[in-house]
Structure 1
Amino acid sequence: MENDSPNKVNRPRAIRRLVIWYRRNSAVTSLVDTAASSASAAGNVAGSVVSSAGSVVSSAGSMARSTLQPLVFDPLRRLQGVADNGLGTTAINDFERIWVAVDGMGGDHAPGPILDGCLQAIERLPLRIKFVGEVEKIKLAAKAMDLEDLLNKSIKKDLIELVPSGPSVEMNEEATVVRRKKDASINIAMDLVKKGKASAVYSAGNSGALMASAIFRLGRLEGIDRPAIGALFPTKDPGQPVLVLDVGANMDCKPNYLHQFALLGNIYSRDVLQVNKPRIGLLNIGEEECKGNELSLNTYELLINEDRFNFVGNCEGRDVLSGQFDVVVCDGFTGNVLLKFLESVGSVLLDVLRAELPRGRRGKVGSAFLRSNLKRIKKRLDHAEHGGALLLGVNGICVIGHGSSKALSVVSALRIAHSAASHGVMEDLANLHRPKALSI
């Protein structure tokens, strides 16, 4: 009896010490809004059923995993209008599905992971996919990834259609190669949109080739000199992303280009992201209107005198993710640097937090509680997890995926394509040359 008594006392005490240690690490718990509740729940479970520290970690891990569903960070999910059936999948009315053309040969890992993402997307989103590519390679990839049966079933249900193409544009080729490779998958996909057989096009391939193909095949919108790539960046509010454009299409810009980017971004934010009165900001080195280089100063004058959108002033780099702006405009060189920097933040932050956690057994147990949450933070800050960016300013909906895109990124990108196609954004973009159509 005397030997059992210390165990009865020490176990609850160890649990209490663990919870006290966890709560004292406010620097970590302030970053992870769900960590405190997970630790508390794990402590309650441990008090009654846990016989070892290993089972505490297992319980907490299973609780965390149950909350981390795919696409939980996607700010467009609430705009889809698709009901969850409680099983992690969605109830979709086939009559509401729209066709999206997918460049199946574009990307570092194509066509297998791209096909996998498309098959997942038709289960979660009201979409039908015209999968464009070299059919034999697609079938071999499907067989290698054990997707053959699912692909055939989807084809029979008219959810996916394989559209044959010729040799594809490689990632290292010049953008103008799309003029020579007329039957490349990206060109065939663009033609499907041009002919009205698809509402949007997605490609994770050569972004320069995609932009060139879009301009050659679809053409620019009236009143737009240069199309821009618009990327959704996360902010402090998971449901309120900020649209940054341009992030790479135009290295050297004129003030009127940035003015047009603001018009494009205002329409997209209003129509697709459902922001009533988007707040437009100009990326600059200071808030004052007298700050900046010649491009910034001249652009500021154009934006401040524009009555078709709500220009709220200059946006410093530290304010991009603050939630104070809905759209931020900049030249493509600056925007691409900002984009690539953001891509590194998630992994760096995760490494810093790991390094700062206490050492020893208590640190290992605490790390186990936080592991899933830290990965969640990394994903929220990693732009590649958001799927793709929009090419705005061409006469069609085009989504550019990350070159290294795999299944989850493909699903997220197709969510963006669906949102843009189903909210009437092209009608408003087509009326850019009519000021009254854009009056707020």
Structure 2
Amino acid sequence: MAPIALDAMGGDHAPVEIVAGAVQALRQYGVPVVLVGAPRPLHEALIEHDAAWQIPIVRAEEALDMSAGALASLRRPRSSIAVACHLVRRGDASAVVSAGSTAGIVATGRLRLRGQQGVLRPALAVVLPTLPRPTVLIDAGANAEVKPEMLVQFAHLGVAYAETALGVPNPRVGLLTIGREAEKGDKLTRRAHELLVSAPGLTFDGNVEGHDLLTGAVDVVVTDGFTGNVALKTVEGAVRFTIGELQETVEGSRLARLGALFQRTQLRRLRRRLDPEAYGGAVLLGLNGTVVIAHGASRAKGIAAACALAARLAAAGTIARIGERIAASHRPHRLWS
């Protein structure tokens, strides 16, 4: 397999933690990585890990700021994320991983890798830590304004992801809105519900509400990028609050600490399940290349997990599966207005 092109200049802790994550991805997961960025600091960081001759570097002197938007990314054609995308397009890398600006990555990915045939818009998919198996939320922030037909395509993208990355057979799809009844929601969700009911190749379970996000009610939750991003950040905040409260309670008294000692295995398991870095990040689906966007604050562990996720998606043929689904479901539509 071709290596993962890792944007070494993107992220709050770049390049030190990015390089550490690349080394961990190689040594812990066996994932080959090529670092893209300014050679001197990257080489120095690799020396610190005794990995200077294990991980190659591709030069990219420019980098996007974490606050960079879509237009700023287009003005830097030689940025590290642009060069990483070019490596995938050329076949020299199997996927792109970056912890940089989400808006910049989405804009650069769309420009450099182009959308798959028949895909109206790429969408961001994230994994929620539900039981008995994870739930895919899509779109988590790539498209603030969408058409109903796009939500149907997002469902196909999310189902392909659930099938290939999570091994879910016949994933169940739910539409995120304000009530379970078909007539609940605005014009967009009501029309999307009508299309999803009759969409070939999808198992549509109807509407889901915000309190269903962490219950595992469905395997794929579909929504627009604005709503999805708000929902995702709400879930992340709730998880952080829960972990903080749990830790404070456990450490609150000698008796509580003693009880925690007997429950330490379960507590560790819960912490691992709720750790966002364990899932590798969001995946930009619908492009002619695999793109994984790690959290901007990711440390080495999160970067390594993102590289491992990108490698799994590339090896599982997620792009080809999306192409098959879109081709099978594609019908001429008059876009809603």
- 2:242 pairs, out of 325, 349, 374, with 349
Residue from 133, 140, 145 that aligns with 2:44: 140
Q: In 2, are the aligned partners of 1:342 and 1:383 still within 8 Å (CA)?
A: no
| Alpha-carbon spacing, 1:168–1:289, altered in 2? closer, same or farther (3 Å) | same
Q: Secondary structure at the match of 1:236?
A: coil
Gaps of 5+ in 1: 1-96, 155-159
1:379 positional shift: 3.9
Matched-pair contact (CA < 8 Å) for 1:349–1:378: no
Counterpart position of 2:183: 290
**Among 403, 409, 414, the residue aligned to 2:307:** 414
Counterpart of 2:52 in structure 1 is: 152
In 2 relative to 1, CA 434–363 (structure 1 residues): closer, same or farther, beyond 3 Å?
Answer: closer
The answer for the alignment partner of 2:334 in structure 1 is none
Cα separation, 1, equivalents of 2:114 and 2:205: 31
Change (3 A) 1:357 1:396: closer
Measure how far apart 1:371 and its partner are. 5.5
Say which SS state the counterpart of residue 434 (structure 1) adopts: helix
Structure 2 contact 249–256 (Cα < 8 Å) conserved: no
The answer on 1:171 being equivalent to 2:62 is no
Structure 1, 334-343 or 193-202: larger mean CA deviation: 334-343
Q: Please name the residue that 2:127 is paired with.
A: 232
Tell me, yes or no, if the aligned pair for 1:343 and 1:384 is still in contact at 8 Å. no
Matched, 1:122 2:26: yes
Residues 202 and 362 of structure 1, relative CA distance in 2, 3 Å threshold: same
Per-residue deviation at 1:411?
1.4
The question of 1:306 aligning with 2:199 is answered yes
1:256 alignment partner, one of 145, 149, 155: 149
* Of 165, 168, 174, the match for 1:275: 168
CA deviation map 1:64-90 (0-9, x unaligned): xxxxxxxxxxxxxxxxxxxxxxxxxxx
Q: Which amino acid aligns with 2:91?
A: G
SS of residue in 2 equivalent to 1:297: helix
What is the percentage of aligned positions where both structures have the same residue? 38
* Structure with greater contact order relative to length (CA < 8 Å, sep ≥ 6): 2
Q: What SS does the aligned partner of 2:218 have?
A: coil
1:280–1:420 Cα change, 3 Å: same
Summarize the Cα distance change of 1:388–1:354 in structure 2 as closer, same or farther, 3 Å threshold: closer
| Preserved contact between residue 117 and residue 410 of structure 1 (Cα < 8 Å) | yes
- Do the aligned residues in 2 keep the contact of 1:98 with 1:127 (CA within 8 Å)? no
**2:91 counterpart residue number:** 196
Structure exhibiting the larger radius of gyration computed from Cα positions:
1
Tell me how far apart the structure 2 counterparts of residues 248 and 225 of structure 1 sit (CA, whole Å). Answer: 15
**Match for residue 333 of structure 2?**
none
Aligned to 2:318, which of 425, 429, 435? 425
How far apart, in 1, do the equivalents of 2:225 and 2:256 lie?
A: 43
- Report the Cα distance in structure 2 between the residues aligned to 1:359 and 1:111, rounded to whole angstroms: 38
The match for 1:89 is none
How many residues are paired up? 330
Q: 1:232–1:183: structure 2 CA closer, same or farther, 3 Å change rule?
A: same
Aligned to 1:104, which of 8, 11, 14?
8
Tell me the CA shift for residue 356 of structure 1. 4.9
Cα displacement (A) at 1:180: 2.4
* Partners of 1:356 and 1:255 in 2: CA distance: 45
Q: Secondary structure at the match of 1:152?
A: coil
Letter in 2 for 1:273: L
Taking structure 1 as reference, are residues 216 and 360 closer, same or farther at Cα in structure 2, changes over 3 Å only?
Answer: closer
Q: Write the letter of the residue equivalent to 1:110.
A: A
CA distance in 2, matches of 1:257, 1:129: 33
Contact 2:137 2:222 in 1 (8 A): yes
